[in-house]
Amino acid sequence: MCLNLKFFILFCFLPIFITNKDDNEYTEEYYDQYIDHFNFYSYKNLTFKQRYLYLNKDFNHINGSLLFYTGNEGDITSFWNNTGSLFDFAYLVRGFIVFAEHRFYGKSLPFGAKSFDSNNIGLLSVDQALADFAELIRYIFIKFKLNPKIPVITFGGSYGGILSTYMRLKYPNLVEGSISSSAPLMSVAGLVPRNFFFKRVTEIYLGTNRDCVHKIRNGFADIDKNLCDGLHSARNLTKELKLCRILDCKKDGPQLYNWIRNAFVILSMCNYPYPSNFLAALPPYPVKASCHLLKKLSTPMEGIYKILSLVYNTSGLGDKKCFDLYTEYKICADPTGCGLGQDGKAWDYQSCTDFILPSGSDNVTDMFPRLPFTIQQRREYCKATWNVEPRDHRLALNFWGDHLGTASNIIFSNGDLDPWMPGGILKNVSSSIISIVIEGGAHHLDLRGSRGDDTDSVKHARQIELGYIQKWISSSKSGIERESDILDDIITRNDV
């Protein structure tokens, strides 16, 4: 149900305004970004090519706005393709859309193939990324000759949502407001207990089907028995899970369980009410779909295999001849998963420096095998892998921690089906720091494009977000007009 007549006109009929996906094709360009924003000596004025995507087909030079997506831990095109709400908002507020790629991810590698060398990786940080975005915003205004009076609103989901928030906190001179979706702001700063994540994944499964959790536990028990009960059983495990080779109990056990657990992480994060292809090609409500697979099959271990196929066999069930768990998952400083390739390396480093990520599973509060990841284990891993010592107080000290009462113009949205939700801002902090909880919402569902099968709760969340976006734009223009009136008055009095 729409909030009022204004929203009814602008948003309840939004689907008829949405342009064809082909109309949202981006232009890709590169900006010569400073390699180091904070050291004037070591790199002097050296730059790297930072990629950004833009679309300005709906932009109004006089009354428009700049909608700026703060890029996450990956190739920026993936976020462009999965953040359709920006295109919907841009149509309604005549926005100029920019998606900025994060340094050390995608094609924005400051030192090319040598970016991850020990001498270079230290330039990967939240602080450097925020400075990149600030410089890019300044450049966009100059390059495209934008009206300097138009407001800038940042958007982001997950890590991008954290960065969107930080942009408003650190650069309020540039950013008028921030939409921060599924941003675990409190957990990454160490302000909530670390054991929430896998407990929440289990609760999501329990809320779907309690018997499903029982069968998943049985599946893990069956796997454990076969893995460590001699060669014959190990061969049976290889056959049942269609693994590419026979596994060793002690050597391969942690990798196997992390790989399986990661599949459940992806299913719960992408538990959207329609088919999606974000982290994997998944059916509608994939948590429910995975439980349905368990219900139909004869043994729990067979069910686990089908669930693994749902995630790792992205072209459909049964297409892969076998699973190579070492190429499909990398153990890292983030137990919820770092991803693969260079992007995975970059996130692993940030998990050792910028962020405090969740602890492992304990098989007591959650349904997974016991795979602990304590603060001490993290410290030892980071020292051995990157030769760095985590500074766990850093984010809370430098980015306001849980003292947001004097900030303004930030919307935090979280879905109650998102395992990251307990790490976010879940209550209104003030009249302009707003929390939205989306019933039945998975990871940054509200940032995805509007669809005919959207739930009422996500439609309502977007209505609220649109209302605040319009309010920020209006307030920004009113402030400029008031400032202009004051200047005119001063000039007039001086002339007199």
pLDDT single digits (tens) 33-57: 999 999 988 888 899 999 999 999 9
Check if the beta carbon of residue 413 is closer than 8 Å to that of residue 179: yes
**Rounded distance between C-alpha atoms, residue 387 and residue 483, angstroms:** 51
**Rounded distance between C-alpha atoms, residue 410 and residue 407, angstroms:** 8
On the question of pLDDT at 20 being above 70, the answer is: no
**Rounded distance between C-alpha atoms, residue 5 and residue 403, angstroms:** 36
Calculate mean pLDDT across residues 420-427: 97
- Supply the pLDDT for residue 297: 75
Q: Which of 132-141, 222-231, 233-242, 292-301 has the lowest mean pLDDT?
A: 292-301
Check if the beta carbon of residue 152 is closer than 8 Å to that of residue 174: yes
**Rounded distance between C-alpha atoms, residue 308 and residue 285, angstroms:** 16
CATH of 194-386, one of 1.20.1080.10, 1.10.8.80, 1.20.120.980, 3.40.50.2000: 1.20.120.980
- Supply the pLDDT for residue 257: 97
Q: Where are the domains of the chain?
A: 5-190+397-484, 194-386
* Highest-confidence segment of 11-25, 243-257, 480-494: 243-257
Backbone angles phi, psi at 206, to 5 degrees: -60, -40
For this structure, is 37 an active site residue? Answer: no
Residue that is written with structure tokens 């408003």 in the block: 168
For this structure, is 418 an active site residue? Answer: yes
- Supply the pLDDT for residue 114: 96
Radius of gyration, CA atoms only, the chain: 24
**Rounded distance between C-alpha atoms, residue 200 and residue 418, angstroms:** 8
On the question of pLDDT at 347 being above 70, the answer is: yes
**Rounded distance between C-alpha atoms, residue 485 and residue 494, angstroms:** 14
Please enumerate in sequence order all residues whose Cβ is within 8 A of that of 184, keeping only pairs 6 or more positions apart, or say none.
Answer: 158, 162, 420, 423, 424
- Supply the pLDDT for residue 305: 92
| Identified catalytic residue from 65, 334, 443, 444 | 443
At 427, list the tokens. Answer: 């209550």
On the question of pLDDT at 462 being above 50, the answer is: yes
Q: What is the pairing mode between strands 47-55 and 95-100?
A: antiparallel
- State what percent of residues in the chain have pLDDT above 70: 91
- Supply the pLDDT for residue 3: 40
| Identified catalytic residue from 125, 158, 178, 290 | 158
At 474, list the tokens. Answer: 């209006």
Domains 5-190+397-484 and 194-386 share a fold: no
Give the number of C-alpha atoms closer than 13 A to the C-alpha of residue 481, restricted to the C-beta side: 7
What is the rounded average pLDDT for all residues in the chain?
90
At 278, list the tokens. Answer: 């974000």
- Supply the pLDDT for residue 402: 85
On the question of pLDDT at 316 being above 50, the answer is: no
For this structure, is 115 an active site residue? Answer: no
| Identified catalytic residue from 75, 334, 418, 446 | 418
Which fold would CATH assign to domain 5-190+397-484?
Rossmann fold (3.40.50)
On the question of pLDDT at 12 being above 50, the answer is: no
Residue that is written with structure tokens 């996450």 in the block: 72
